[in-house]
Chain A
């Protein structure tokens, strides 16, 4: 009997529920947007803008995005625009998500977008949508392949390669090729009496060929090294690109080069610190660790540690704070509606389709044992506790 009454009750509730559900579903189907379907909001090219969207790519490729870029960008943009409202989003390594986040920002009235693209090609859709609303887009750290991109802020990647190569150019005379070649057998042996006319052998282990930055690093390096190679001061005995910047692959490449050259290699141009670790392991295996000039990049704790041990010679430090500061300065000029020429200083970056994008390309810093204290430590980019593990106190005045 109770069931009967329950059923009678349900008979009243069910239609109400169905009608309510239909209304909810109907309302869900309207595809409402954040601006209540009023269409694109026209902005004034960012002038007077007090709503800024920050879109970062992921949390997995590097901890930098969340631990450094995110807070530094917020801090610099808040300093640039009084009472600014910032919409922050992380695409979690999904280009479609990033596009949706950008659309949401635009619908909410964001009038400047700072985008570190998850995919430099896919993110061109963000630029296209922003252009419809006259919203400037700043590509942060990674270029967006769109002619309509407003600005690009990054480090001068060609300069990175140049700094690495310049260090080699400055120091290669200290790494003379001391081998002599037995012309009958073609094998070389290390001797103590070096021949300064013999070119210094260099192996070049570049970054990933699918990373355009790796090509730019290599371009910069060759700009400095090619004259030395052409004049026979250096001899490029091995050069390759390393898929995915993989450290183990880099080690295998170094082992292969050492084997091919009977360990007669004095310079190892290595794209970054991670791969440099692999190369050092290969050198260690043949007793050449500390005897070969090894370059790196990123000023990682491991890389700087290896500099202190003498196994790595240098690294390139790209202060993220500077990159975020440049972005903040650019946002400020856009907000004020004044020319950004003073910031970009006439620099441009080209897209694949010939677009010439005004760019702020911050200068990276070469770091060796002489300036660790004044760069990465002074900037609190690294702590001494990160790099001094196992290093004797007093080493290079750092630990």
Chain B
């Protein structure tokens, strides 16, 4: 069996290992980032928008809940204090209890720093007792008729529309309750006047939620009764405050004038239309509010205690801006990491290729060495073949001449015996012929001997050459051994590279 190994000729890669390692590292690092960016577009961006919406919903719900809690607490204040014995006795007409009733109004007044007055009225709405000051009328009335009409039975509470105190630059509401005697008849009306300081402060703080965000409260009449004030000195009111979101009915406009609602006597209530807000919105929505030049995401939550709607607004670009900014950060990170990966890849690639290149050089040297050795071996083989052939020829000659010498010797022996036995019977011619044959045989043996000597010399030469060839073969084996050692070193270096 014989096989012929064809030399492996593969096209050398155009991209070096170092570059490929760098590219691989970059791919390994950048691909996840690219996936992240794509994910950002497909998942994160909507998620962020959703998160912002949820945040706004929570914000609006929390504030609406806080308003409910605040008003319930204030309703409870009034409800509890209105059942105090002296107040009931005073309203029932027992003037003995006036001072004590006033003390109890004082007690109620101090329950919340935002109370501006506690007042007792008779059932017709006339002021009987007030702390700390006598109340100013609400437009044409002490108590507006539509409120008074609701307080003609026991356990009735009413929260008024919003008024505005120009001196304190603050809105306020009146909380009313009917006060019954121990006999269960309505003896009078209690009223606490609550400044909206806490509510307006919460509305103003809405700017802290996100850049450009703000909030407003729209009351049941469609008037903005709270609006984020960008004037931090709070000496001026926001333009949109006490502006209606849609045109008001003539009847309500008249009521505003009669009761001086919303500070109408200082600044008349007008319309700043926001048609989107006139429709009840249970889900987050987007619109461009009045006097705003951009689209806003908005969430509206209704209060339970009072017909107010708390609306939180945030510029849409602020919400998506977070996603955009995140994309930019990711791209910057990707660029930086790409550069780092390239540098690391080059360094690692070089470290990896250095021993490989060294091994390649050694392999090349070994290959050259083996090639030379192979050529030499081929020459030696040819010489050896020739020597063997020569030796075979020489040996055949020696064998031939040895055989011829033997034949000649036997011929001589035969001639000698024949001559010895028949010498007397031979005539001279026969004797001469016999002698001639002996001479010829001897001459033949001599020639054979001479040829044998020459052949022996040839064999001697062949042996010498064979010795030389053997020495050269030993030398070739040594070279092969050296080449093998070089290959072992290459293997060791390659193992060092692969780590196994």
Could you give, for residues 206-231 of chain A, a 1 whenever the CB lies within 8 Å of some chain B CB and a 0 otherwise?
A: 00011010011011001110110111
* B84 and A222 contact, CB distance less than 8 A: yes
| Stretch in A291-299, A346-354, A360-368, A382-390 touching the partner | A346-354
* A353 and B305 contact, CB distance less than 8 A: yes
**B371 at the binding interface (Cβ < 8 Å):** no
Query: Which among B68, B85, B104 is the interface contact of A227 at CB below 8 angstroms?
Result: B85
Q: Interface size class for chain B?
A: 20 to 34
Complex Cα distance, B104 from A276, in Å, reads 22
Residues facing A in B468-500 (CB within 8 A) are 500
**B455 at the binding interface (Cβ < 8 Å):** no
* B89 and A226 contact, CB distance less than 8 A: yes
CB distance from A249 to the nearest CB of B (A): 14
Kindly list chain B residues whose C-beta atoms are within 8 Å of the C-beta of A356.
155
Residues facing A in B269-305 (CB within 8 A) are 304-305
Kindly list chain B residues whose C-beta atoms are within 8 Å of the C-beta of A391.
none
Complex Cα distance, B99 from A212, in Å, reads 24
**A239 at the binding interface (Cβ < 8 Å):** yes
Chain A: how many interface residues by the 8 Å CB criterion?
A: 31
Complex Cα distance, B155 from A241, in Å, reads 25
* B86 and A230 contact, CB distance less than 8 A: yes
Could you give, for residues 105-119 of chain A, a 1 whenever the CB lies within 8 Å of some chain B CB and a 0 otherwise?
A: 000000000000001
Complex Cα distance, B50 from A30, in Å, reads 18
**B157 at the binding interface (Cβ < 8 Å):** yes
CB distance from A207 to the nearest CB of B (A): 12
Complex Cα distance, B83 from A94, in Å, reads 32
Kindly list chain B residues whose C-beta atoms are within 8 Å of the C-beta of A230.
86, 89, 96-97, 99-100
Q: Determine the main DSSP class of B at the interface with A.
A: helix
**Most chain B CB inside 10 Å of its own CB: which residue of A145, A229, A240, A352:** A352
**A236 at the binding interface (Cβ < 8 Å):** yes
Complex Cα distance, B77 from A145, in Å, reads 14
* A353 and B97 contact, CB distance less than 8 A: no
Complex Cα distance, B304 from A122, in Å, reads 11
**B138 at the binding interface (Cβ < 8 Å):** no
* B110 and A212 contact, CB distance less than 8 A: no
Kindly list chain A residues whose C-beta atoms are within 8 Å of the C-beta of B65.
121-122
Given contacts A219-B80, A226-B89, A239-B107, contact A121 B69 (CB under 8 A): yes
**B103 at the binding interface (Cβ < 8 Å):** yes
* A215 and B155 contact, CB distance less than 8 A: no
* B80 and A216 contact, CB distance less than 8 A: yes
Could you give, for residues 52-88 of chain B, a 1 whenever the CB lies within 8 Å of some chain A CB and a 0 otherwise?
A: 0000000000000100110111011101110111100
Kindly list chain A residues whose C-beta atoms are within 8 Å of the C-beta of B89.
226, 230
* A215 and B77 contact, CB distance less than 8 A: yes
Given contacts A230-B97, A236-B103, A241-B111, contact A121 B72 (CB under 8 A): yes
Query: Which among B85, B103, B304 is the interface contact of A223 at CB below 8 angstroms?
Result: B85
Residues facing A in B140-190 (CB within 8 A) are 155-157
Kindly list chain A residues whose C-beta atoms are within 8 Å of the C-beta of B72.
120-121, 145, 352
CB distance from B377 to the nearest CB of A (A): 38
Given contacts A121-B69, A122-B65, A226-B86, contact A352 B305 (CB under 8 A): yes
Task: Select from chain B the residue with minimum beta-carbon distance to A120.
Answer: B72
Kindly list chain A residues whose C-beta atoms are within 8 Å of the C-beta of B100.
226, 229-230, 236
**B112 at the binding interface (Cβ < 8 Å):** yes
Could you give, for residues 110-125 of chain B, a 1 whenever the CB lies within 8 Å of some chain A CB and a 0 otherwise?
A: 1110000000000000
**Most chain B CB inside 10 Å of its own CB: which residue of A122, A216, A222:** A222
CB distance from B74 to the nearest CB of A (A): 9
Complex Cα distance, B103 from A250, in Å, reads 20
* B79 and A352 contact, CB distance less than 8 A: yes
Kindly list chain A residues whose C-beta atoms are within 8 Å of the C-beta of B76.
212, 215, 352
Kindly list chain A residues whose C-beta atoms are within 8 Å of the C-beta of B305.
352-353
Could you give, for residues 297-311 of chain A, a 1 whenever the CB lies within 8 Å of some chain B CB and a 0 otherwise?
A: 000000000000000
* A222 and B104 contact, CB distance less than 8 A: yes
Complex Cα distance, B43 from A123, in Å, reads 35
CB distance from B13 to the nearest CB of A (A): 22
Complex Cα distance, B68 from A226, in Å, reads 32
* B156 and A354 contact, CB distance less than 8 A: yes
* A352 and B157 contact, CB distance less than 8 A: yes
Kindly list chain B residues whose C-beta atoms are within 8 Å of the C-beta of A241.
107, 110-111
* B80 and A212 contact, CB distance less than 8 A: yes
Complex Cα distance, B109 from A209, in Å, reads 11
Kindly list chain A residues whose C-beta atoms are within 8 Å of the C-beta of B156.
354
* A222 and B96 contact, CB distance less than 8 A: no
Given contacts A121-B65, A226-B97, A230-B97, contact A219 B84 (CB under 8 A): yes
Kindly list chain B residues whose C-beta atoms are within 8 Å of the C-beta of A218.
80, 84, 107
Residues facing B in A74-94 (CB within 8 A) are none
CB distance from A22 to the nearest CB of B (A): 14
Query: Which among A119, A236, A352 is the interface contact of B75 at CB below 8 angstroms?
Result: A352
Query: Which among A209, A210, A231, A239 is the interface contact of B103 at CB below 8 angstroms?
Result: A239
CB distance from A49 to the nearest CB of B (A): 29
Kindly list chain A residues whose C-beta atoms are within 8 Å of the C-beta of B500.
1
Kindly list chain B residues whose C-beta atoms are within 8 Å of the C-beta of A227.
85
Task: Select from chain A the residue with minimum beta-carbon distance to B73.
Answer: A210
Could you give, for residues 201-231 of chain B, a 1 whenever the CB lies within 8 Å of some chain A CB and a 0 otherwise?
A: 0000000000000000000000000000000
Could you give, for residues 36-53 of chain A, a 1 whenever the CB lies within 8 Å of some chain B CB and a 0 otherwise?
A: 000000000000000000
Chain A positions near chain B (C-beta within 8 angstroms): 1, 119-122, 124, 145, 209-210, 212, 215-216, 218-219, 222-224, 226-227, 229-231, 236, 239-241, 350, 352-354, 356
List 28 A–B pairs whose Cβ atoms lie within 8 Å, in order of A's numbering.
A119-B69, A120-B72, A121-B65, A121-B68, A209-B110, A212-B76, A215-B77, A215-B80, A222-B85, A222-B104, A223-B84, A224-B85, A226-B84, A226-B97, A227-B85, A229-B100, A230-B89, A230-B100, A231-B96, A236-B100, A239-B103, A241-B110, A350-B155, A352-B71, A352-B75, A352-B76, A354-B155, A354-B157
Nearest 7 pairs of A and B residues by beta carbon: A215-B80, A226-B85, A226-B86, A352-B75, A352-B72, A209-B111, A223-B85
Chain B positions near chain A (C-beta within 8 angstroms): 65, 68-69, 71-73, 75-77, 79-81, 83-86, 89, 96-97, 99-100, 103-104, 107, 110-112, 155-157, 304-305, 500
Given contacts A227-B85, A353-B157, 9 further A-B contacts (CB under 8 A): A122-B65, A209-B110, A219-B84, A230-B99, A241-B107, A350-B79, A352-B72, A352-B76, A352-B157
